[in-house]
Structure 1
Amino acid sequence: MASSGKKNWGRRKIEIKIIENEDDRLISFSKRCTIIYKKTSKLSTLFGGEILFIIFSPTSKPYSFCHPSIESVVKRFWNPNQPHNETTHAPIEAYPKARINLLVRDFNELHD
């Protein structure tokens, strides 16, 4: 079989150490943060887990992912014996009402 000249390194071990160049570090953080978001979303979808993930960027900006909501995950964290279904759907049902209230408030502020 003819070689296309492209080397395929596949999965290879890399040394874990701080990335010295600040621009490279920010770019790498951004790319890996996106991957972590996708993985945590997939975990919550596949296994029905409640997830809260918080990470601070090198510039100290917080990023978070939670499912179904921060409130429900924190409630479960402080009370692990709470039944799963008590926290899962309430925030999802409340979201449209909260969003509508915010939109109405913004509209009223603009109108005034």
Structure 2
Amino acid sequence: MTRKKIQIKKIDNISSRQVTFSKRRKGLFKKAQELSTLCDADVALMVFSATNKLFEYASSSMQQVIERRNGCSENHRLMDHPSADQFQVESESSNTLRKKLEDKSRELRYTANTFSTN
């Protein structure tokens, strides 16, 4: 026997909604715990009920996971909006590489001309 497919929409009956919330919350927390255990992942999960009650799960410290997330956000923000200093460094690196390429090309042409004249 298979489960019947349900339509995803807000449940009108308040008591049915609360029962569904409790069951699904437990399932969600179980999946978070399994993901953490099976994949050695840091997981933090926060759920607020309709009555503003907080339910949370963290595989390690919730605070550590949040700080780690905030650090990643800062890194992504820096990558999306590089500073003028980063452009300066990249420009200097680019100029150095361009000069090395020109020097090697000149050296290669000189070597090729030397062999062709012999």
State if a TM-score over 0.5 links the two structures: yes
SS at match of 1:49: coil
CA separation in 2, counterparts of 1:79 and 1:60? 27
Other-structure match for 1:64: 56
Q: TM-score, normalised by structure 1?
A: 0.60
Aligned residue pair count:
72
Equivalent residue letter for 1:51: V
Other-structure match for 1:110: none
Other-structure match for 1:37: 29
Once the two structures are TM-superposed, the CA of residue 26 in structure 1 deviates from its matched residue by: 0.4
Q: TM-score, normalised by structure 2?
A: 0.57
Unaligned runs of 5+ in 2: 73-118
Bigger radius of gyration: 2
Once the two structures are TM-superposed, the CA of residue 72 in structure 1 deviates from its matched residue by: 1.3
Q: Which of 25, 42, 66 is the aligned partner of 1:74? A: 66
SS at match of 1:79: helix
Higher relative contact order structure (alpha carbons within 8 Å, sequence separation ≥ 6) = 1
Unaligned runs of 5+ in 1: 1-7, 81-112
CA separation in 1, counterparts of 2:19 and 2:7? 18
Compare the two structures and name the one with the higher helix fraction: 2
